A = this chain, B = another copy of it.
Amino acid sequence: MKLKEFAKQLGLSPTTVSRALSGYPEVSEITRARVAEEAVRLGYRPNVNAVRLKTGRAGAIGVVMGRAGEFHFAEFMAGMAERLVPEDTDILVIPMADPDDDKEMELYRRLVESQRVDAIIMHSPRPDDARIALLHALGMPFLVHGRSDIDVPHAWLDIDNEGAVRRATAHLLDLGHTRIAMINGRPGATYALHREKGYRSALASRGIAADPGLIASGNFTDELGFRFAKAFLERSDPPTAIVAGSMMSALGVYRAVRSLGLQVGMDVSVIAHDDVFPYLSADNMAPSLSATRSSMRAAGTRCADLALQLIRGVSPLEIHEVWPVELILRESTGPVRR
């Protein structure tokens, strides 16, 4: 059913029908009601592509996805959906190319020029992320989930990674630990730098020098968690506590600790970052895992909301949010053993 046909059935002009449905003021309430009712009854629905062409709006928000199938991604998108479904805005997944490649830039350029999305949400930027500069230059509204130091205006939402890790580390120090290892995320991303900063500043405030041999970074996988933790613990001067970057890393760490005949919470304290997944909870691990916690789903919802604001013309300069991170203490952390 097309507008013209639908309008004819109603004995109205396309103009009036369009206006009635889009809520313009110059149509009488009584007609509006009739149009709305008949639209449902006859099943008339404006063709999105026509609307998009005419209005220039895409009715969709793009979200950049890494090619590695990161486990937090579905959770973030589920959060986005919560906000975007009622808004009748689509979620378009934009698979990332190799970030160091020129192709990545070309991809964004094409995406913007093709007017497929009204805004873009991107994750895990680097301090000097060229994508941010590009999106700004192209005039595309975009929201950065994470932070960057780059000198162009951009909207962002981030969690307080530095503070979270600082508190986690400080807590371990309070418990008497002095040799504390850290398993960070992929080097280069700002969040990883912030976490390292938090770690270092906590140590520094107690006059402890960070041992480079106790810092490792890599993807958030069970395997790397295991390998790094094992390597740490097999040193001649092993750490008594480990700060890990994700739930998956934590699984590996637990495994490594156990594999050496040690006990988490007794021989080795562990704190990890928990993005709050429905399928794997820190509380349920054995022993239960002390964690810095921040909901990935909530972040998705809020990011979607902020992206909508950008589309509506709010200045990127007004959109900067740092979310606090909870530190939840459970059984995996305990006083240092002597």
Contacts and interface: CB of A to CB of B under 8 A. Distances in A.
Given A115-B47, A286-B259, A91 B92 contact: yes
Q: Could you say which interface size class chain A belongs to?
A: 35 or more
Contacts of A67: 78, 81-82
Closest 8 CB pairs of A and B: A81-B95, A69-B78, A69-B75, A73-B74, A49-B52, A49-B53, A91-B93, A221-B279
A280 B91 contact: no
A5 B262 CA distance: 72
A236 interface: no
Contact of A69 (B65, B91, B258, B277): B277
A180 to B, nearest CB: 24
A68 to B, nearest CB: 6
A281 B224 CA distance: 11
A228 to B, nearest CB: 13
A70 B78 CA distance: 9
A30 interface: no
A251 interface: yes
A295 to B, nearest CB: 11
A259 B287 CA distance: 10
Contacts of A226: 284
B43 A113 contact: yes
Nearest to A107: B85
A275 B81 CA distance: 25
A331 interface: no
Interface string A27-50: 000000000000000010111111
Contact of A219 (B48, B258, B279): B279
A109 B276 CA distance: 33
A323 interface: no
A222 B281 contact: yes
Interface in A70-88: 70-71, 73-75, 77-79, 81-82, 84-85
A116 interface: yes
A222 B114 CA distance: 43
A251 B278 contact: no
Contact of A65 (B70, B74, B113, B281): B74
